[in-house]
Amino acid sequence: MEKKNNRLSAALGITFVWFTTQFGGGFASGAQLKSYFINYGIWCLITCIIAQAINAFYNGYTVYYCKKHNTYNYRDFCDGIYGKFAPVFSNLYEIIYIVVLLVVPAVAYATGGSTLSTLLGIPYMLCTLIIGVFIFVVSIYGTAIVRKTATALSVMIVVGLLVVFIPNILAQWDSVRSNIGALSAKPAPIGPALFSMFLYATSQSTPPVAILSQHASVLEDKKDSAFTFVIGFLVNSAMIFISVLGLLAIVDLPEYAESSLPILVLVQNGVGGSILTPIISILIILGSVSTAVNMVSAGTIRVCSALDKDFDPDGKPTKKVVIVTLILCVVGFGVAQFGLLPLVNKGYGLLGYMAIPVIIIPFLIHFLLRKRIDP
């Protein structure tokens, strides 16, 4: 019984790390869902789930390989999985991850800071500083704390999403059903919908390589990776489907077409707007911060592991950990102050394209040939 409990606990911990990695400000605001799925018509009800299946496969294989070979930082993992091509592909991934480390924390500061400023009415720079301090403190205390924080944040985010979406889906069910019928009647070529879905999945495949590799050690056996990512697929699929379904209540409204925060349009046109608006604001902040914590922590572990072969990611924060984490947080803070959010958002699409030759194709080849090259 204890072994089963440990297995489930490890699976849920990794699931919530994946969830908080995916659930950033773009997801929380509904902007990502609108851009990658809903804009392509009725297929959004299926493509949002297929994207989770793609990521579950890649995430699961990453964790499986890391546990099998005891490689718990992403450089060791990349050197192993790329084999003789590691001098090229491992360094290409390093370049991609440097871009990610600039993009994700900057998004957290910019979206979280502006949302907190609107919610509390205090200066934007002070808000970004508050968020930066939180990210810094959590990130320096190792992977175990990150998992616990991810679990706590995930529970709050999941509960918050359900509180927002379920009442609005029920109250606006006639609109949801009507808009689903209208979308079904409109021409919706499947090709563009599948390509957008694929690009979303590839852009989401880059951070987990670095993040989930450090958490694979909590599994008792490499075979537990399959169980872990079945759980992860179910949780992430349920949340993204509910979110997409909720937004379908408002796709016919003029405000939806013009809004970069469609979830606020849903709340303002649904039930409990005065109560749910601050809840949505908090969700956007939590989503941004949780993703940034995962990324900064992974970056710290990568750098500190390179500097010290005996580095323990779950140990007490050392001077090196504090300095490296502080540098990463300050860089993200600095980028956000330049107002680069629109450029940063375009960066996610670029990351999606870059991931295809560096992650998507090589990992698939390795999986198909694993019995021959990695018995």
- CB of 39 closer than 8 Å to CB of 267: no
User: Which pLDDT value is given to residue 237?
Assistant: 95
Could you say which DSSP state residue 42 is in?
G
- Per-residue pLDDT at 42 exceeds 60: yes
Q: Which long-range contacts (CB under 8 A, 24 or more apart) does 140-145 make?
A: 140/300, 140/317, 140/321, 140/322, 140/325, 141/317, 142/297, 142/312, 142/313, 142/314, 142/315, 142/317, 143/214, 143/215, 143/217, 143/297, 143/301, 143/313, 143/314, 144/314
User: Which pLDDT value is given to residue 47?
Assistant: 97
User: Which pLDDT value is given to residue 220?
Assistant: 84
152: tokens are 């706590």
User: Which pLDDT value is given to residue 196?
Assistant: 93
User: Which pLDDT value is given to residue 86?
Assistant: 93
CATH for 29-368 is 1.20.1740.10
User: Which pLDDT value is given to residue 115?
Assistant: 75
More confident: 229 or 23: 229
- CB of 331 closer than 8 Å to CB of 102: yes
- CB of 263 closer than 8 Å to CB of 164: yes
Taking only the tens place, the pLDDT of each residue in 62-95 is 999 999 998 887 888 999 999 999 999 999 998 8
330: tokens are 């300050």
Mean pLDDT, the chain, rounded, equals 84
- CB of 62 closer than 8 Å to CB of 208: yes
80: tokens are 């192993």
Instruction: Calculate the CA 352 to chain-centre distance.
Output: 13
- CB of 132 closer than 8 Å to CB of 335: no
Instruction: State how far the Cα of 329 lies from the Cα of 271, in Å rounded to an integer.
Output: 38
Instruction: State how far the Cα of 31 lies from the Cα of 24, in Å rounded to an integer.
Output: 11
Instruction: State how far the Cα of 128 lies from the Cα of 15, in Å rounded to an integer.
Output: 28
Instruction: State how far the Cα of 180 lies from the Cα of 41, in Å rounded to an integer.
Output: 9
246: tokens are 């909720």
Percentage of the chain exceeding pLDDT 90: 30
Residue given tokens 């379920």 in the structure block: 166
Instruction: State how far the Cα of 82 lies from the Cα of 17, in Å rounded to an integer.
Output: 25
Q: What is the pTM of this model?
A: 0.83
User: Which pLDDT value is given to residue 6?
Assistant: 77
Q: Which of 34, 104, 114, 165 is nearest to 285 (CA)?
A: 114
Region 330-347: mean pLDDT is: 65
Region 332-342: mean pLDDT is: 65
- Per-residue pLDDT at 103 exceeds 70: yes
Length of the chain in terms of residues written: 375
Region 253-276: mean pLDDT is: 81
Percentage of the chain exceeding pLDDT 70: 93
Taking only the tens place, the pLDDT of each residue in 192-242 is 999 999 999 998 888 778 778 877 888 888 888 889 999 999 999 999 999
User: Which pLDDT value is given to residue 25?
Assistant: 65
Q: Where are the domains of the chain?
A: 29-368
Q: How many CB atoms lie within 10 A of CB 184?
A: 11
- Per-residue pLDDT at 340 exceeds 50: no
Instruction: State how far the Cα of 92 lies from the Cα of 362, in Å rounded to an integer.
Output: 12
- Per-residue pLDDT at 309 exceeds 80: no
Residue 368 confidence class, pLDDT cut points 50, 70, 90: very high
Instruction: State how far the Cα of 72 lies from the Cα of 61, in Å rounded to an integer.
Output: 14
Q: Is 309 helix (H, G, I), strand (E, B) or coil?
A: coil
Q: Which of 115, 102, 103, 113 is nearest to 29 (CA)?
A: 115
Q: Is 140 helix (H, G, I), strand (E, B) or coil?
A: coil
Q: By mean pLDDT, which of 71-80, 104-113, 240-249, 352-361 is the weakest?
A: 104-113
- CB of 36 closer than 8 Å to CB of 119: no
User: Which pLDDT value is given to residue 174?
Assistant: 93
More confident: 176 or 348: 176
Instruction: State how far the Cα of 170 lies from the Cα of 288, in Å rounded to an integer.
Output: 28
User: Which pLDDT value is given to residue 1?
Assistant: 54
Q: By mean pLDDT, which of 5-14, 26-35, 326-335, 336-345 is the weakest?
A: 336-345
**Residue type at position 215:** H
More confident: 136 or 43: 43
